[in-house]
Amino acid sequence: MEKTALRNAIENNRDVTKLGEVASYIPELAKGNRDALGACIFDTGGNLLLEGDYETKFTIQSVSKVITLICALIDNGKEIVFSKVGNEPSSDPFNSLLKLEIEENHKPLNPFINAGAIVCTSLVAGDNGIEKFTRILNMIRKLANNENIEVNYPVFRSEKLTGNTNRAIAYFLKGAGIIEKDVEDILDTYFKCCSIEVDVEDIARIASVIANNGIAPWSKEMLIPKEVNRIVKATMSTCGLYDSSGKFSVDVGIPAKSGVGGCIMAVVPNRMGIAVVGPSLDKHGNSVAGIKVMESLSRALELSIF
Ligand SMILES: NC(=O)CC[C@H](N)C(=O)O
């Protein structure tokens, strides 16, 4: 049943890729394949399903914000993390600076907009950017059960060269006293995390650990403490798709996180992790066909938690 649902969801939504555009504000991302659409389900029993253009490689982009939040929470505890970043959804684009000036203490609204993720990056354990990045990369490799995951350096260089809005956000946060240490070092770490190259199986495995209360379905090892896992799922369901999180909740109804590389990672608690890739994006920066695939799957397999 799941195999048929996944196949139908991909095949019935291939044309939707034509309705969006590949991200080009990071020049290297413009090379992404606009027509690609692939997906993976990894369930909590350890079963794997792959469909469509599942071999597509893409950069993890904002899906990395989930893993950065996991590391920040493990390394600091909830009180410290949420003294520097909020829990509220944002109605502004993911890279907006608008609310930073007016929010109490200049705290970013949540960990999944760029400002909030830059704060979480600064909180990850490590004396410098390289140590912080190594911590996050190792966590991604463990959660995906894939030691070969690496950075796509052309994308990293492209982001670093053109990431002026993120630079403005980070310097504002430094001025407001929310981030400490060297701003450029933290930005490099943030850009590198966004540039980690993965495929849908990697992301579906990460999602399956979160779906399985932090325990890896393949080894039964506890990779994410239960309380951290709970916070992450809650944050995904309120803030995971930027300023269209509410609509996604109504139409799909499961915790998820998107990235401008075209991926949507979704978690069906106690059932499965799902990853879709379709680099053609809507105006919010979410995979235009990816959202439709998630809607189809949610309907066919009754995934909504509501
Ligand atoms: N929404 C995203 O995936 C944004 C990530 C991207 N690297 C940026 O900082 O702009």
**Cα 64 to averaged position of ligand 1 atoms, centre (Å):** 10
Same domain, residue pair 90 and 116 = yes
Name the one residue in this structure whose structure tokens are 């027509």: 35
Kindly state the percentage of the chain with pLDDT values over 70. Answer: 100
Q: Is 64 in the pocket of ligand 1 (CB under 6 A)?
A: no
Residue 230 scores a pLDDT above 80? yes
> Do 36 and 77 fall into the same domain?
no
Ligand 1 pocket check for 194: Cβ under 6 Å: yes
**Which pLDDT value is given to residue 234?**
97
106 compared with 119, residue with greater pLDDT: 119
Using DSSP's 3-state secondary structure scheme, residue 256 falls into strand
Return d(Cα 286, Cα 230) in angstroms, integer. 24
**286 appears as a binding residue in the annotation:** no
Distance, CA of 46 to CA of 95 (rounded, Å) = 36
pTM beyond 0.80 = yes
**Which of the listed residues 194, 244, 265, 286 should we mutate to test ligand 1's pocket, taking the one with most ligand atoms within 8 A of CB?**
194
* Structural domain includes residue 81: yes
Q: What residues are labeled active site? A: 62, 65, 190, 242, 260
Scan for tokens 């950017």, then name that residue. Answer: 129
Q: Is 153 within any annotated ligand binding site?
A: no
Q: Closest by alpha carbon to 63, among 252, 204, 234, 269?
A: 204
Cα dihedral angle (264, 43, 303, 297), rounded to 10 degrees?
60
What CATH number has the domain bearing residue 209?
Answer: 3.40.710.10
Q: What is the CA(21)–ligand 1 centre distance, in A?
A: 15
- Ligand 1 center–CA 61 separation, angstroms: 5
Do 78 and 176 share a domain, yes or no?
yes
pLDDT digits (tens, 9 = 90+) for 231-242: 999 999 999 998
Instruction: Looking at the CA of residue 285, tell me the nearest atom of ligand 1.
Output: 1
Domain shared by 295 and 169, yes or no: no
Residue of 124, 113, 14 whose CA lies nearest to 67: 124
* pLDDT bucket at 208, cuts 50 / 70 / 90: very high
Judge whether 24 lies within some domain.
Answer: yes
pLDDT at 257 over 90: yes
- pLDDT by residue (tens digit) across 142-170? 999 999 999 999 999 999 999 999 999 99
Q: How far is CA 98 from CA 94, 103, 106, 258, in A?
A: 11, 9, 11, 21
Is the CB of residue 94 below 6 angstroms from any atom belonging to ligand 1?
Answer: yes
Whether 104 shows a pLDDT value over 80: the answer reads no
The angle subtended at Cα 116 by Cα 99 and Cα 167, nearest 5°, is 80
User: Is 213 annotated as contributing to ligand binding?
Assistant: no
As for how many domains the chain has, the answer is 2
Separation of alpha carbons 150 and 219, rounded Å = 23
pLDDT beyond 80 at 103: no
pLDDT in tens, 23-38: 999 999 999 999 999 9
- Residue 28 lies inside a defined structural domain of this protein: yes
What do you get for the CA distance between the two ends of the chain, in Å? 22
More confident residue, 106 or 273: 273
Question: Which phi and psi (to 5°) does residue 178 adopt?
Answer: -85, -35
295 domain-assigned: yes
Residues 66 and 39 in one domain: no
State whether 30 and 94 are in the same domain.
no
State which ligand 1 atom lies nearest to the alpha carbon of 260.
3
Looking at the structure, tell me whether residues 213 and 268 fall in a common domain.
yes
Residue 24 marked in a binding site: no
Q: Is residue 114 lining ligand 1, measured as CB closer than 6 Å?
A: yes
ipTM for the predicted complex? 0.96
Query: For the segment 74-99, what is each residue's pLDDT rounded down to a tens digit?
Result: 999 999 999 999 998 888 888 888 88
Q: Where are any strands of DSSP class E within the chain?
A: 21-22, 38-43, 48-52, 58-59, 150-151, 196-198, 256-258, 263-268, 272-277, 280-281
Do 111 and 50 belong together in one domain?
A: no
Residues 158 and 237 in one domain: no
Q: Are residues 53 and 137 in the same domain?
A: no
126: containing domain = 62-196
Domain boundary residue, one of 167, 196, 225: 196
pLDDT at residue 157, rounded to an integer = 98
Q: Angle CA(260)–CA(265)–CA(266) in degrees, nearest 5?
A: 140
Assess whether 238 and 211 both reside in one domain.
yes
Asked which of 140, 166, 196 is the last residue of a domain, the reply is 196
Residue with the two structure tokens 């799957």: 297
Query: Would you say residue 306 lies in a domain?
Result: no
Looking at the structure, tell me whether residues 81 and 160 fall in a common domain.
Answer: yes
pLDDT of 82 reads 97
**43 assigned to some structural domain:** yes
Has residue 111 got a pLDDT over 80? Answer: yes
